[in-house]
A and B are shown apart, each in its own frame.
Chain A
């Protein structure tokens, strides 16, 4: 048996560093929001020949289009603007084609009014809160005690902070945008985190009940020792899957998969090293 709980200060330190870096990034740089949240228009055009940025900018200017960002990649134009209506969009496309003498294929075009995204995030938030309450109730019944549920939820919030914080870093350094896919990834992380924690708690409960006199701490240590291999193996399999998708999958889902990857890692980490110490601490407090 390995005394995992002896190193709880180390776990706190690791979590504090990761979450601290994330929070720092959130405060300092914030996020880049996709048009899902800010409203606006996104275009991805493919042209039949490479064009120059200056020419493109000139046409945008002539059409009085307020550009937010522009990226030229080989023959692809990635353009983000304030909300354009249908008429402005077709005019711009036609104008670009005639003035730059190119042919445009629209790969993607999105326009979102500013209200839609805010509503979506609000509703998702309510759903998440309900989900948390649901988990609390179910776990309190299943584990016959509120502390198990509470510790699992706290670990889930830990993972939430890790994912959101790292995404802010990704956002700042690599241009990842907060969009509906990110929201989905966060939701995935939340359910994975609780799922993983329950597996370990189940083992702790078993040792604690079977060997009635056993202290929560040593029951936990024993459980952690026995489940460590399965935790690592299991996360390995998910990480294999996600790594393959991150490196070879399509570009539109790259940040999404990366977020899932981070979520899986922290979700696995938090079960033995965040949720379990919290549980032991809560139980100790209760006994006193």
Chain B
């Protein structure tokens, strides 16, 4: 029985170490960092990766404010949700992995917070996301002949045709067969095809304009009636511009205009240097803590160090398994929880020593010391959990912080404290029983 227990514990420990292995260090033997297997007809699939936040990994956080003045109140939620979807599609086209897009309400103001990890070309991303991409087709309005000769053509195109971006099935980038210049091809859906046929029929010999967000893209003169539902936007595009326009059209128009109100961009190098330095410093700090414990508490200190290492392994496991996005405040929360975990151990030892001084034998001293210390540890940690809970704002209440930094701090703090309760109560006690009893 004892053997089975030992094997079981060893297996758990190995599992923890396996998950915690840093994934970016190249070793001779490739260690996979995901599970993928079938058991009792269930497919269990899980990948374990450390997720670093924007401040550590580099990337952009963009905050857009939505202009809700032209949207009816009952349509607002729909409009915001579809705006979020449109932005997500655009960002995906841009090649960002795992973007995070949130709508945040604050009073009457609605904002969209967009996290783009690992992106370096943030200027392009901002342009692409912010584009409303409202594509409209307009024809000549009623103007008197005098104005017609003096004003540019696109100002005369005032009459909406009813044909717009929503009638487009697909937009592709094409190249003019003669000039080789890039252009944007449009393919209409059925309704759009009919509309476009009518429009071209009644406008033969007259210009029809294609407008993007009310800016004219091209104002060609219609030659014949077009029945196959396809059109081409020529214009002085570079290949890049044409590509972005197709992305914007394909992802659909934003249902409401948005304005950039805040942005944070961290270059990948800066985050990298910061992480390396801090990890290095953190390791040295941790070694000092362990040394201190061992020197001061002797064998008990060694046990505490062991418990602390197990504590670290478990926390890291949880961070990777959930996964928790680690940011600088998140790391701070974790450091604080390490401090509290050490504290739990010190408390227990001091209590045990006290009982020993009172002349009790070792077994009883351990039991009493533990019992007493746990009371204090429980009270202290529960208050910390209360604080973390409120700061994390799990119900996403509007009057509490809804932004990443404070939440990240609260989350790692809560995980760390909960884990330290567990290691303090269960693991340190086991370890003392195993290693200390014989003396």
Contacts and interface: CB of A to CB of B under 8 A. Distances in A.
B253 interface: no
Interface in B210-269: 260-267, 269
Contacts of A119: 106
Given A240-B289, A248-B281, A250-B278, A110 B409 contact: no
A232 B285 CA distance: 17
B269 A105 contact: yes
Given A90-B123, A131-B387, A195-B340, A105 B267 contact: yes
Contacts, number: 221
A161 interface: no
Contacts of A185: 332
Given A230-B346, A241-B338, A248-B280, A198 B265 contact: no
Interface string A125-150: 01100110011001100100000000
Contacts of B289: 237, 240-241
Contact of A124 (B278, B338, B386, B401): B401
A229 to B, nearest CB: 7
Contacts of A108: 264-267, 270
B108 interface: no
16 contacts: A116-B261, A123-B399, A134-B386, A134-B387, A180-B403, A181-B329, A199-B347, A202-B376, A230-B350, A234-B339, A234-B343, A237-B293, A245-B281, A252-B328, A257-B332, A260-B335
B149 interface: no
Give the top 10 A-B pairs by smallest Cβ distance, nearest first.
A244-B285, A250-B274, A241-B285, A248-B281, A202-B376, A238-B339, A113-B261, A240-B288, A198-B380, A249-B281
B270 A44 contact: yes
Interface string A11-52: 000000000000000000000000000000000101000000
Contacts of A85: 260
B381 interface: yes
A233 B376 CA distance: 17
A148 to B, nearest CB: 10
A181 B328 contact: yes
Contacts of A138: 382-383, 386
Which of B109, B340, B402 has most chain A Cβ within 10 Å?
Answer: B340
Interface residues of B, number: 74
Interface stretch (B44-52, B200-208, B388-396): B388-396
A3 interface: no
Which applies to chain A's interface (DSSP): helix, strand, loop or mixed? helix
B240 to A, nearest CB: 15
B389 to A, nearest CB: 8
B70 to A, nearest CB: 21
Interface size class of A (residues with CB under 8 A): 35 or more
Interface in A197-241: 198-199, 202-203, 206, 226-227, 229-230, 233-234, 236-238, 240-241
Nearest to B354: A226
Interface string B283-302: 01110110011001000000
A278 interface: no
B383 A194 contact: yes
A129 to B, nearest CB: 9
Given A234-B342, A236-B292, A135 B386 contact: yes
Given A229-B350, A234-B343, A241-B335, A127 B261 contact: no
B325 to A, nearest CB: 15
A123 B332 CA distance: 20
A250 B277 contact: yes
Contacts of A203: 376
A183 interface: yes
A242 interface: yes
Nearest to A192: B336
